[in-house]
Amino acid sequence: MPKLAIAILLLVLVILASTLSYTGYLVVSVVAEHLGTGRLMAGFLLGVLFARVPWIAEQKLRTIGLLPQRARLPVMVALLAFCLLSYFFRGEFVPVLFLAFAATFLLTYRWMRKIVVDRVTSSLFKSSVGPGQSKSADDRVIDVEFREKKD
Protein backbone atom coordinates (compact mmCIF):
# COMPACT_ATOMS: atom_id res chain seq x y z
CA MET A 1 0.00 0.00 0.00
CA PRO A 2 2.80 2.54 0.70
CA LYS A 3 4.29 1.89 -2.75
CA LEU A 4 0.95 2.62 -4.39
CA ALA A 5 0.57 5.83 -2.38
CA ILE A 6 4.08 6.94 -3.36
CA ALA A 7 3.38 6.14 -7.02
CA ILE A 8 0.13 8.13 -6.95
CA LEU A 9 1.85 11.05 -5.20
CA LEU A 10 4.63 11.10 -7.80
CA LEU A 11 2.09 10.96 -10.62
CA VAL A 12 0.17 13.89 -9.13
CA LEU A 13 3.41 15.88 -8.73
CA VAL A 14 4.41 15.18 -12.35
CA ILE A 15 0.98 16.29 -13.59
CA LEU A 16 1.15 19.43 -11.44
CA ALA A 17 4.66 20.29 -12.65
CA SER A 18 3.76 19.82 -16.30
CA THR A 19 0.55 21.82 -15.93
CA LEU A 20 2.34 24.73 -14.25
CA SER A 21 5.16 24.59 -16.82
CA TYR A 22 2.65 24.84 -19.66
CA THR A 23 0.95 27.71 -17.82
CA GLY A 24 4.30 29.49 -17.63
CA TYR A 25 4.72 29.02 -21.38
CA LEU A 26 1.25 30.51 -21.94
CA VAL A 27 2.00 33.51 -19.71
CA VAL A 28 5.34 34.18 -21.41
CA SER A 29 3.65 33.92 -24.81
CA VAL A 30 0.96 36.49 -23.92
CA VAL A 31 3.48 38.88 -22.37
CA ALA A 32 5.72 38.56 -25.45
CA GLU A 33 2.79 39.23 -27.75
CA HIS A 34 1.64 42.32 -25.86
CA LEU A 35 5.16 43.73 -25.51
CA GLY A 36 5.96 43.03 -29.16
CA THR A 37 9.09 41.08 -28.34
CA GLY A 38 10.22 37.47 -28.45
CA ARG A 39 9.44 34.81 -25.87
CA LEU A 40 13.05 34.74 -24.72
CA MET A 41 13.05 38.45 -23.85
CA ALA A 42 9.60 38.23 -22.21
CA GLY A 43 10.75 35.26 -20.12
CA PHE A 44 13.87 37.14 -19.14
CA LEU A 45 11.82 40.20 -18.09
CA LEU A 46 9.46 38.05 -16.02
CA GLY A 47 12.44 36.25 -14.49
CA VAL A 48 13.99 39.55 -13.44
CA LEU A 49 10.65 40.73 -12.06
CA PHE A 50 10.09 37.65 -9.86
CA ALA A 51 13.72 36.73 -9.06
CA ARG A 52 14.87 36.42 -5.45
CA VAL A 53 18.59 36.85 -4.78
CA PRO A 54 20.37 35.86 -1.55
CA TRP A 55 21.83 38.82 0.32
CA ILE A 56 23.86 38.94 3.51
CA ALA A 57 23.16 42.01 5.63
CA GLU A 58 24.01 42.45 9.30
CA GLN A 59 25.32 38.89 9.57
CA LYS A 60 21.94 37.46 8.42
CA LEU A 61 21.08 35.70 5.18
CA ARG A 62 18.09 37.29 3.44
CA THR A 63 16.59 37.33 -0.01
CA ILE A 64 15.90 40.48 -1.95
CA GLY A 65 14.10 41.08 -5.19
CA LEU A 66 12.50 43.68 -7.38
CA LEU A 67 9.04 43.00 -5.94
CA PRO A 68 8.43 43.14 -2.19
CA GLN A 69 7.23 39.92 -0.57
CA ARG A 70 3.66 41.15 -0.07
CA ALA A 71 3.35 42.20 -3.73
CA ARG A 72 4.42 38.93 -5.37
CA LEU A 73 1.18 36.99 -4.97
CA PRO A 74 -1.13 39.80 -6.17
CA VAL A 75 1.12 40.48 -9.17
CA MET A 76 1.18 36.79 -10.09
CA VAL A 77 -2.59 36.48 -9.78
CA ALA A 78 -3.12 39.68 -11.80
CA LEU A 79 -0.76 38.41 -14.51
CA LEU A 80 -2.58 35.07 -14.66
CA ALA A 81 -5.95 36.85 -14.79
CA PHE A 82 -4.72 39.11 -17.60
CA CYS A 83 -3.53 36.11 -19.62
CA LEU A 84 -6.72 34.19 -18.86
CA LEU A 85 -8.84 37.07 -20.18
CA SER A 86 -6.60 37.42 -23.22
CA TYR A 87 -7.09 33.78 -24.19
CA PHE A 88 -10.79 33.89 -23.27
CA PHE A 89 -11.48 36.79 -25.64
CA ARG A 90 -9.62 34.96 -28.41
CA GLY A 91 -11.90 31.96 -27.90
CA GLU A 92 -9.14 29.55 -26.89
CA PHE A 93 -10.62 27.61 -23.99
CA VAL A 94 -7.95 24.96 -23.32
CA PRO A 95 -5.37 27.60 -22.25
CA VAL A 96 -8.12 29.23 -20.17
CA LEU A 97 -8.57 25.98 -18.24
CA PHE A 98 -4.84 25.68 -17.60
CA LEU A 99 -4.58 29.30 -16.46
CA ALA A 100 -7.66 28.98 -14.22
CA PHE A 101 -6.20 25.85 -12.62
CA ALA A 102 -2.88 27.62 -12.03
CA ALA A 103 -4.59 30.64 -10.47
CA THR A 104 -6.69 28.39 -8.24
CA PHE A 105 -3.62 26.45 -7.18
CA LEU A 106 -1.71 29.65 -6.51
CA LEU A 107 -4.49 31.04 -4.32
CA THR A 108 -5.07 27.81 -2.36
CA TYR A 109 -1.43 26.67 -2.00
CA ARG A 110 -0.88 28.08 1.51
CA TRP A 111 -4.13 26.57 2.76
CA MET A 112 -3.36 23.15 1.20
CA ARG A 113 0.20 23.19 2.58
CA LYS A 114 -1.10 23.90 6.09
CA ILE A 115 -3.60 21.05 5.89
CA VAL A 116 -1.03 18.56 4.57
CA VAL A 117 1.61 19.55 7.13
CA ASP A 118 -0.92 19.31 9.97
CA ARG A 119 -2.05 15.88 8.81
CA VAL A 120 1.50 14.56 8.43
CA THR A 121 2.60 15.90 11.81
CA SER A 122 -0.48 14.52 13.52
CA SER A 123 0.16 11.08 12.03
CA LEU A 124 3.88 11.10 12.87
CA PHE A 125 3.66 12.59 16.36
CA LYS A 126 0.75 11.20 18.34
CA SER A 127 -0.63 13.66 20.88
CA SER A 128 -0.39 12.73 24.54
CA VAL A 129 -4.11 12.72 25.25
CA GLY A 130 -5.01 10.65 28.27
CA PRO A 131 -8.23 8.73 28.80
CA GLY A 132 -9.90 11.57 30.72
CA GLN A 133 -8.84 14.38 28.39
CA SER A 134 -10.65 15.49 25.29
CA LYS A 135 -8.88 15.52 21.93
CA SER A 136 -10.40 18.86 21.00
CA ALA A 137 -8.41 20.70 23.69
CA ASP A 138 -5.72 23.02 22.47
CA ASP A 139 -2.27 21.41 22.80
CA ARG A 140 -0.68 24.76 23.56
CA VAL A 141 -2.79 25.30 26.70
CA ILE A 142 -1.52 23.77 29.92
CA ASP A 143 -4.33 22.64 32.19
CA VAL A 144 -3.26 22.71 35.85
CA GLU A 145 -5.14 22.05 39.09
CA PHE A 146 -4.12 23.85 42.29
CA ARG A 147 -4.72 22.44 45.78
CA GLU A 148 -4.16 24.27 49.00
CA LYS A 149 -2.18 22.55 51.65
CA LYS A 150 -3.61 22.76 55.19
CA ASP A 151 -1.18 23.73 57.95
Compare 2 and 30 and report the one with higher pLDDT: 30
Domain positions in the chain: 9-124
DSSP per-residue codes, 117-141: HHHHHHHHS-----TTS-TTS-TTS
Q: Per-residue pLDDT averaged across 96-113, rounded?
A: 93
pTM: 0.71
Q: Per-residue pLDDT averaged across 24-46, rounded?
A: 95
Query: How many alpha carbons lie under 13 Å from residue 126 in its C-beta half-sphere?
Result: 3
